[in-house]
Structure 1
């Protein structure tokens, strides 16, 4: 029973964490009526909670493996009580900065669930499960939409205090319904980091999440004020539009995870970054509110599906170090939400428009598209290499002049020749001397005419022992039809030959 409630419980935990995480940005139009904040400091204030919310994701992902999600969520919600109360009593910009920094704990809990939940499900469902959990970032939409509405009735300070009740309630839920018997992983943190930091896939996934989740966070914290300042919308209307953006991105996250379970995830990411590139270019031309909405919705769709796909890829490639890798990838993604608001604010203060910032997003997305394509083909090459190395048949590859360029481990096992012994040598070093020149001439004539030869042939091991092979030689041609290499595959059939002779 307890195991079955972990997905809904932890998803709701994430909803609450993200609701708390964006309190300041959602209520900022109300807060600035009571607290004097310089215009050039507004972007910093909205970005501050993202800092700790990103950096803490590595240790929280690690601790979720070490102590279990129940304890990490419980402690996180108790710790959040202090900054929430402090912000409700804030009277200066400094108070908001201090409180906002520690609100980051709410964003950091993301890495807890993506580390914990895959333990309860088969690998084929990890994309969907992490997608459903990731949909908990709807919490940002709830706060962005509801907090301004409530604040118009009871004021922003009392609105913030309501979150104290929510945090206490969910701390209690985790005490009673959290899984005390969750499987623990106790590999030291630094050992896990050493095991993954040299893997280029970690940094590719971090970059991709930097864009997809980073743009989600950036638009979430920046849209309310941007829509009010740039398009002169009222505060509630701006909040509702931002909530719509968040809702689309959030609900498509499990869809992205589900699609990644069913189809090639890297193909899906290619589509994501093509859409990003086009949408960012539309936004760069500072269009009307209608076209701006289309561009933002395209970003929301791409962010939602992309976020779901990436957290299918992480446990697929990093099964044993999922906690640490989830923490690193989600940390970089969180930081992706920190820099764009500051960058956009700086560009706007210099140029008076946001076009350059959105154009930069389109170029980064285009570069990511190139990297995804490269990663896909590298994966295919890696798969080919694994097949080459693991097959039980001996394989040797020569160039068009007959010089050996590659052999597999089975070749060494069957012939006793190591790769260094035969590289750039002619395959005749394996010859037993039993076959005359005419035999080889007919063999190569058939290969030239038909592209293939197969049959029995006697060869000699390095030790001098003769053995009978079943050999298949195939010609590999280029686009013009010229032979560029030859691939020989063979098996030892000496014992079968002996049996045939005795029968």
Structure 2
């Protein structure tokens, strides 16, 4: 078993750090409206359904923008794509600081926040690009731990909004975005793991059953993580009548678990297999969702969310141990596509929770819907892994040494039959 030091020596740590920081700050900006949800809801007297839509819009916009950014990264390089994206985000934050003054403006700002949500595939591909296949799971876990940006958002946005007004938070966010931009320019190096491919080859993952299978799994793991991260401040505020700042701190506890455990998920996926880890975490997520339907006390609810986020975070890391094994030559595009579909699941969840609250008077129905969906995906995983093992991955999802023919075929299986 390779030590952490050995793993780092096999790649380029400065690029990995730059990718982590880039994703971390982008993620924080992506979920700003969710972190400030109670403030915005109070300002414009929103219904639960309106709040759910407002929170989901940045997630939806970010999901849609991920794939185009992944395509762009294949042509101008992942480092240049990241620099371009961060520069545009700073301009978007300036707009938010000066011009957001109505609910419609908040919705427009939600679309602009989605630019930050597009960073996922590029960040993970850039961070892991220097590492060999047997260590990509850990490298992607480290880069993907940038979803700890949720912690930054829910920890700092509510008190800043309380002190200076929630519109001012956009200005603070734009100012701090300069930090990862400078780090990316100075430290990052474009990885050598890319090949010149045609546009058709770039998007080949869209026409494979495995790509859609990964996407459905990610709807549960990442969709659950980002959807709940955005909705929890509103959930705690309305369900337990805590203050807006306290709601952010409670959300931070859960989000921190999900972010930190993502690295652990990638680590164990490298060693015992991504399929095995995914099976365990999906079971844990189902149990957590169902337990939350009983409306337990604040302390028990917080612990359950921490367990749920830990499972979802580990699942995120485990899934992206499998992606570069299945698509070794176009990981940025495939990762962006999978991330896009997964984030769409995150856009659905706040709306489900909002409608559940508005029409049933409680959030339990929303948890049941997601638990049932997770159970269906777990059953499908059991069927899918029978085809995966031996074809491009080893038992339980571990790395196998591919033949030259397998390397050539990876990422280009037959399209789904009509």
TM-score by length of 2: 0.86
Tell me the equivalent position of 2:357: 348
Write out aligned runs for 1:4-403 (5 A): 4-89=13-98, 90-179=100-189, 184-193=194-203, 195-380=204-389
CA displacement at 1:44 relative to structure 2: 1.0
C-alpha deviations, 1:294-332, integer Å up to 9, x for none?
321221111111000000000011112322211111101
- Paired with 1:381 and 1:159, the residues of 2 have a C-alpha distance of 51
TM-score, normalisation: structure 1: 0.72
Give the direction of change, closer, same or farther, for the CA distance of 1:172–1:293 in structure 2 (3 Å limit): closer
Q: Pick closer, same or farther for the CA change 1:64–1:350 going to 2, 3 Å.
A: same
Greater C-alpha radius of gyration: 1
Q: In the aligned structure 2, how far is the partner of 1:295 from the partner of 1:361?
A: 15
Counterpart contact for 1:216–1:300, Cα < 8 Å: yes
- The answer to whether the 8 A contact 1:205-1:329 is kept is yes
The answer to whether the 8 Å contact 2:48/2:354 transfers is no
Q: Which has the higher contact order (CA 8 A, sep 6+)?
A: 2
Q: How much has 1:184 moved relative to structure 2?
A: 4.6
Q: CA deviation at 1:36?
A: 4.9
- Number of equivalences: 384
Q: In the TM superposition, what is the alpha-carbon distance from 1:155 to its structure 2 partner?
A: 2.6
Q: Distance in 2 between matches of 1:4 and 1:357?
A: 41
Give the alignment of 1:400-419 within 5 angstroms. none
**CA distance in structure 1 between the partners assigned to 2:254 and 2:83 by the alignment:** 30
**1:418 aligned residue:** none
Are the aligned partners of 1:231 and 1:289 in contact in 2 as well (CA < 8 Å)?
yes
CA shift in 2, pair 1:112/1:381, >3 Å: closer
Bigger fraction of residues in helix? 2
* Residues 56 and 347 in structure 2, CA contact (< 8 A), matched pair in contact too: yes
Deviations 1:208-263 (Å, cap 9, x if unpaired)? Answer: 11100001011111010111111111111110110111100000001000001101
Contact kept? 1:67, 1:184, Cα under 8 Å: no
Please tell me whether the aligned partners of residues 45 and 97 of structure 1 are also in contact (alpha carbons under 8 angstroms).
Answer: yes
When residues 323 and 381 of structure 1 are mapped into structure 2, their CA distance, relative to the original with a 3 A threshold, is closer
Structure 1 residues 30 and 363: CA distance shift in structure 2, 3 A: closer
SS of match in other structure, 1:310 = helix
Structure 1 residue 370: deviation in Å? 1.2
Q: How much does 1:35 deviate?
A: 4.3
SS in 2 for 1:56: helix
The offset of 1:85, in angstroms, is 2.0
Larger mean CA deviation between 65-74 and 289-298 belongs to 289-298
Cα offset, 1:292, TM superposition: 2.0
State whether residues 69 and 178 of structure 1, in contact with CA within 8 Å, keep that contact through their aligned partners in structure 2: no
Contact 1:24 1:46 in 2 (8 A): yes
Contact 1:85 1:164 in 2 (8 A): yes
Contact conserved, 1:64 with 1:115, CA < 8 A, in 2? no
Distance in 1 separating the partners of 2:391 and 2:85 = 41
Measured after TM superposition, the shift of residue 37 of structure 1 is 4.0
Is the 8 Å Cα contact of residues 48 and 355 (structure 2) preserved in structure 1? no
Cα deviation, residue 378, structure 1: 2.8
Q: Secondary structure at the match of 1:245?
A: helix
Matched residues in 1 for 2:358 and 2:163: separation? 34
Contact 1:210 1:334 survives alignment (8 Å): yes
- Describe the SS at the equivalent of 1:91: coil
